[in-house]
Amino acid sequence: MHRILFHIGNLPVYSYGAMISLAVLVTAILMSRESSRWKISPDHTLEAIIVAVIGGLLGSRILYVLLNWEYYRGRWAEIFFARFEGLTFYGAFLGGILAVLLWCRWRKISFFKFTELAAPYLILSYAFGRIGCFLNGCCYGRVSPLPWAIAIPAVDDLPRHPVQLYAAAGGLIIFIILKLLQRFRFYDGFSLIALCALYGILRFTTEFFREEAIVWMGLTLAQLFSLGLTILSLAIMLYLFSLSPAKSRSASRK
């Protein structure tokens, strides 16, 4: 593990924060270059990314504190964080989506059209973040006898699944799938719904290899949420596809 990448004078540069910053930078460059294809101003795209980052950080921290309220009860000073620690992806996702939704309404830009551009890069940023988790030694996996299992020095000397890398690889695969599906342009918002379904499957799967508390029927809290997210996303997707023939028939009568 390399929790601290290097120092700038006496200031440590933490690997997790560095990977999140790199994710934002790469996302900003790629989305800005592609935004014109979606008839969205590059300036608006950069603005939306800033809004999403702020909303994501707030949402991530708020959800983390709520999930660990027994620890933070009475420790008000510790709720305010530094070094990008104590975060959750689902909180970042919900906070970022809400922030961008409000921003789109303010800018009078179609939210679902914007998510067609943004969805693949959101999961790409997630992949960067999981690499940051691996370097930081957090979100670690269960003990495993597999030859590629590694020890987390901050935890113990036992070999564990590098589940952070599993998640990063899965995020990259989802990114490729979403970019390929964009060629078909089914309807505005499809990429966001597909992202929710695919990420739910990814998270549900990787949780089996992650060291997390079981809450119900052998599943973790994240698995239960992921299962619900996937089912809901697929249901919405099928419903919207079922409307397409009706829309086509209506248009042909006109």
Strands 11-14 and 4-8: antiparallel
Residue 138 has a pLDDT of 83
Q: Rounded distance, CA 207 to CA 218, Å?
A: 11
Least-confidence region, from 39-43, 91-95, 111-115, 240-244? 240-244
- pLDDT tens sequence across 72-109: 777 666 666 555 556 777 888 899 999 999 999 999 99
Residue 253 has a pLDDT of 42
- CA geometry: angle 91, 56, 130, nearest 5 deg: 75
Q: Return the half-sphere exposure (C-beta side, CA atoms, 13 A cut-off) of residue 169.
A: 7
Least-confidence region, from 67-81, 130-144, 219-233, 240-254? 240-254
Residues above pLDDT 90, as percent of the chain = 50
What is the per-residue burial (b if ≥16 Cβ within 10 Å, else e) of 167-198?
bbbbbbebbeebeebbeeebbebbbbbbbbbb
Q: What average pLDDT does this structure show over 22-35? A: 92
Domain ranges of the chain: 4-187
